[in-house]
């Protein structure tokens, strides 16, 4: 059967190239605007190289996202009627600016916040559920334009549930092949902010899988390591799409990991303060939720630390780019302050982050520090765009499955 033109965009397997390409996007609520700004820049550079139809899903073997990053992942990879991504990267920032104020309607009353702690989550999630269903419809995990990995946490079973399109390979009735809308609502259900999400997925006639999900940030707010593990699992299984790559061939991995910013440098809390907190103190401090801040920040930093150590030990640190801003202050670091002023400030932070120097975690202090002569994040992304473009063209040249006339 003759290939359609759109099929020529599909990335060919790593076995036909030199690299395994991974894009990872952290969780962080409204702060998802920050990586959205970075992604818009990266996709624009790919379009300069390969034409205006180029999309991020055409270049990455796997795109991983947690919570708000999971929503971005789905937006970048869900197919439209022409088998192209529903959203271009440039469309994501306007989506956040338009819809975040309705997902997180602002209640100025401190009494309202305290009442919600005792009566339920801060937001009812109804608008989020509606807009996600409206944009993603009935599209399922198995239909994405490239592989995706979206972590969630099953509160009933007290264990992570990883929605990975890799797990669907060779299976016709995998229970993880759920609707992307259900997966996105589940991975975004941040404790205290949005309600936990329950849904059932029909596996086959007469068999149903039940999910009871909360935010994927409980397990992996930075999903880069989960994505690496999913790929490594396929390599260990001798999947033909990865031959002849070996499990420890980290020089063949290219990883771009995007954070959503943090207030680490602001040092919002200290031991004397936390020592006085009871349950309420851990759940509400000014406009923040310390307990959520602690486990999401710890998760993200541990992943960055682990990947940095491994890539450095195997002399492949140039293949790993982590872009994160730890200098947020005040409402900038909130996951739900959706005022026009704060959202526009987050856009500015994302744009400014492009101009900042490339940084890596200091393995002694745990703090990110600029790389000597490493250039800016913008320059690094331009370099990575060139690598991604060359890798895509190489695979298309060597793969027998490519429509060479497209």
R_g of the chain, CA atoms, integer Å: 21
Strands 147-154, 62-65: pairing kind? parallel
**Domain at 14-108+116-398: CATH architecture:** 3-Layer(aba) Sandwich (3.40)
Query: Quick check: 38 pLDDT over 90?
Result: yes
Q: Which residues pair with 200 in a beta bridge?
A: 210
pLDDT reading at 108 higher than 70? no
| Nearest alpha carbon to residue 27 among 259, 283, 212, 322 | 259
Q: Is pLDDT above 80 for 208? A: yes
Of these ranges, 106-115, 242-251, 286-295, 308-317, the one predicted with the greatest mean pLDDT is 308-317
- What is the rounded CA–CA span in Å between residue 381 and residue 174? 36
**Residues involved in catalysis:** 67, 215
Task: Encode pLDDT of 5-25 as tens digits.
Answer: 334 568 999 999 999 999 999
Residue pair 12/401 in contact (Cβ under 8 Å)? The answer is: yes
Q: Where are the strands (E) in 107-158, listed by range?
A: 147-154
| C-alpha to C-alpha distance for 375 and 357, rounded to whole angstroms | 6
Pairing verdict, β 197-204 and 207-214: antiparallel
pLDDT by residue (tens digit) across 154-176?
999 999 999 999 998 877 788 89
Q: Which of 398, 363, 390 is closest to 49 using CA atoms?
A: 390
Cβ-contact 262, 333 below 8 angstroms: yes
pLDDT in the model for residue 7 = 43
Residues in the chain: 406
**How many Å from the N-terminal Cα to the C-terminal Cα in the chain?**
14
Model pTM score? 0.93
Residue 4 has pLDDT above 50, yes or no: no
Q: What span, in angstroms and rounded, lies between the C-alpha atoms of 44 and 56?
A: 10
- Tell me how far CA of residue 145 lies from CA of 157, 162, 377, in angstroms: 30, 18, 27
Domain ranges for the chain, please list them. Answer: 14-108+116-398
Q: Cis link prior to 244 (omega < 30° from 0)?
A: yes
| Residue 52: other Cβ atoms inside 10 A | 9
Per DSSP, what are the bridge partners of residue 212? 198
Paired residues of 140 in beta bridges: 179
Residues β-bridged to residue 150: 163
Nearest Cα residue to 66 out of 254, 299, 233? 299
| Gap between the Cα atoms of 183 and 167, Å rounded | 15
Query: What is the SS3 assignment for 337?
Result: coil
Tens digits of residue pLDDT in 122-134: 999 999 999 999 9
CA dihedral sign of residues 393, 397, 400, 406: positive
Contact status, residue 325 vs residue 353, Cβ threshold 8 Å:
yes
- For 154, other C-beta atoms within 10 Å of its C-beta total 18
Model pLDDT, residue 224: 97
């Amino acid at each position: 059967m003759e290939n359609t033109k759109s099929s020529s965009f599909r990335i060919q397997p790593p076995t036909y190239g030199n690299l395994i390409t991974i894009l990872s996007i952290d969780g962080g609520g409204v702060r998802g605007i920050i990586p959205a700004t970075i992604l818009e820049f990266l996709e624009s550079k790919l379009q300069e190289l390969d034409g205006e139809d180029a999309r991020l899903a055409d270049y990455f073997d796997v795109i991983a996202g947690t919570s708000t990053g999971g929503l971005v992942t789905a937006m970048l990879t869900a197919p439209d009627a022409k088998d192209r991504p529903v959203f271009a990267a440039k469309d994501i920032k306007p989506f956040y600016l338009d819809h975040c104020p309705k997902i997180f309607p602002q209640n100025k009353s401190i009494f309202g916040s305290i009442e919600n702690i005792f009566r339920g989550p801060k937001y009812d999630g109804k608008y989020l559920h509606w807009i996600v269903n409206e944009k993603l419809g009935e599209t399922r995990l198995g239909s994405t334009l490239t592989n995706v990995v979206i972590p969630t946490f099953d509160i009933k079973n007290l264990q992570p549930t990883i929605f990975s399109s890799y797990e669907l390979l060779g299976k016709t009735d995998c229970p993880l092949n759920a609707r992307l809308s259900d997966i996105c609502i589940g991975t975004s259900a941040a404790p205290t902010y949005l309600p936990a999400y329950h849904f059932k997925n029909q596996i086959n006639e007469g068999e149903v899988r039940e999910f009871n999900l909360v935010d994927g940030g409980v397990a992996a707010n930075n999903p880069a390591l989960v994505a690496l593990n999913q790929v490594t699992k396929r390599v260990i299984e001798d999947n033909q799409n990865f031959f002849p790559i070996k499990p420890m061939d980290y020089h063949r991995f290219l990883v771009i990991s995007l954070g959503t910013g943090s207030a680490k440098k602001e040092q919002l809390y200290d031991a004397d303060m936390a020592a006085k907190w009871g349950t309420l103190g851990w759940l509400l401090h000014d406009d923040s939720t310390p307990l959520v801040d602690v486990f999401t920040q710890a998760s993200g930093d541990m992943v960055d630390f682990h990947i940095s150590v491994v890539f450095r030990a195997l002399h492949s640190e140039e293949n790993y780019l982590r872009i994160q801003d730890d200098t947020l202050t005040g409402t900038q670091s909130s996951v739900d302050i959706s005022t026009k002023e704060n959202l526009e400030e987050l856009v500015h932070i994302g744009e400014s982050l492009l101009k900042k120097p490339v940084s890596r975690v200091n393995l002694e202090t745990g703090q990110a520090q600029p790389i000597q002569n490493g250039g800016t994040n913008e320059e690094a992304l331009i370099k990575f765009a060139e690598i991604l473009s060359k890798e895509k063209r190489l695979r298309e040249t060597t793969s027998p499955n490519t429509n060479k006339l497209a």
